[in-house]
């Protein structure tokens, strides 16, 4: 009779395996977990006995530990389990705080400057017991990873997200603008993507909106040529104003820069607008305060749609 050992799988087995898989080392995993190295080895051996597969390729030398095919397969399932546990913990924390408490929100620079101030004002009026703890990042990947971990309740991201782990709601269509120094000839002469060939660009370094612009240009056979990159909107504007190049930025980013010393031209017909949305873990149960936050985010972004377009200077 074959004995099913899977009911004996415990979270300590999972934690040890995930730590070794990430660190690629029993010693470093032991340091992270606060265990001895033999204790970690024992947990891994127990896990391999339970699942009936060799999960790690060990070496007597100093080379890194490698996952077997079975190890890679199991790790994917355990990551999903970890996400569910993180969601459960966050939901229980939210239950304890009731309708008040702190919401952990992730965003990128232009959302923090243009959307969150009005959103927080609305929350203060409707749900005064709710506070926001803001985490800023330059990439969606970092924000989505924190949603998975349960350290964020919500994240403002660019849509679409190619993952079934998250629920999303579209909030705002954010068109791109070409930004040039005031009176620059380039601003009036850009009528097609071809006109951007060999034009020096000022751009962001890591943000997904810049990657979208680059992908559109490359699809048209044009390789972007950058004179300067920075993830700070003020720096991008400053280098444009100094005449070192032109920038292609979304409307929200342009709003944070200010229009003095530059002029802006909407290029919606050349580069598709980015879609800004709100994301949260599919495994989270939205409670009252969280539902209020989603509603306030919708209302705030709806109000931005009616704002006048930036004027040329």
Give residue 97's Cα distance to chain centre. 26
Q: DSSP states of 23-47 as a string?
A: HT-HHHHHHHHT--HHHHHHHHHHH
Tell me the mean pLDDT in the region 147-166: 90
State the Cα–Cα distance between residues 152 and 126, nearest whole angstrom. Answer: 22
pLDDT for 149: 82
For residues 279 and 168, is the Cβ–Cβ distance under 8 A?
Answer: yes
* pLDDT tens digit sequence for 294-308: 999 999 999 987 666
Find which of 46-55, 74-83, 95-104 is predicted with most confidence, using mean pLDDT. 46-55
pLDDT over threshold 50, residue 313: no
* pLDDT tens digit sequence for 169-218: 999 999 999 999 987 755 557 889 999 998 999 999 988 899 999 999 99
Span of 36-40, 101-105, 213-217 with lowest mean pLDDT? 101-105
- Set out the domains of the chain in order of their start, with CATH numbers: 6-81 (1.10.10.10), 99-173+275-305 (3.40.190.10), 176-272 (3.40.190.10)
pLDDT over threshold 90, residue 60: no
State the Cα–Cα distance between residues 65 and 63, nearest whole angstrom. Answer: 7
In three-state secondary structure terms, 239 is helix
């Amino acid at each position: 009779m074959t004995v099913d050992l899977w009911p004996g799988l415990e979270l300590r087995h999972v934690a040890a395996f995930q730590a070794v898989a990430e660190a690629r080392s029993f010693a470093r995993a032991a340091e992270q977990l606060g265990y001895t190295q033999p204790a970690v080895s024992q947990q891994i051996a127990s896990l391999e006995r339970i699942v009936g597969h060799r999960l790690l390729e060990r070496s007597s030398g100093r080379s890194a530990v490698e996952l077997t095919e079975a190890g890679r397969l199991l790790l994917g399932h355990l990551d999903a389990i970890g996400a569910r546990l993180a969601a459960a913990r966050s939901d229980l924390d939210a239950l304890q705080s009731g309708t008040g408490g702190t919401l952990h929100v992730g965003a990128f620079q232009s959302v923090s400057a243009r959307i969150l101030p009005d959103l927080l004002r609305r929350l203060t009026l409707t749900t005064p017991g709710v506070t926001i703890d803001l985490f800023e990042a330059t990439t969606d990947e970092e924000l989505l990873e924190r949603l998975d971990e349960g350290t964020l309740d919500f994240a403002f991201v660019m849509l679409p997200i190619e993952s079934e782990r998250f629920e999303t709601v579209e909030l705002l269509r954010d068109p791109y603008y070409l930004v040039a120094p005031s009176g620059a000839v380039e601003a009036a002469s850009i009528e097609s993507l071809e006109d951007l060939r060999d034009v020096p660009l000022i751009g962001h370094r890591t943000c997904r909106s810049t990657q979208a612009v680059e992908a559109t240009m490359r699809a048209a056979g044009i390789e972007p040529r950058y004179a300067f990159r920075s993830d700070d909107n003020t720096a991008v504007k400053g280098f444009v104003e100094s005449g070192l190049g032109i920038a292609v930025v979304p409307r929200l980013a342009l709003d944070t820069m200010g229009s003095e010393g530059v002029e802006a031209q909407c290029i919606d017909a050349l580069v598709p607008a980015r879609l800004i949305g709100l994301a949260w873990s599919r495994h989270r149960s939205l409670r009252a305060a969280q539902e209020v936050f989603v509603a306030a985010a919708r209302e705030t972004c709806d109000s931005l749609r009616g704002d006048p377009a930036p004027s040329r200077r």
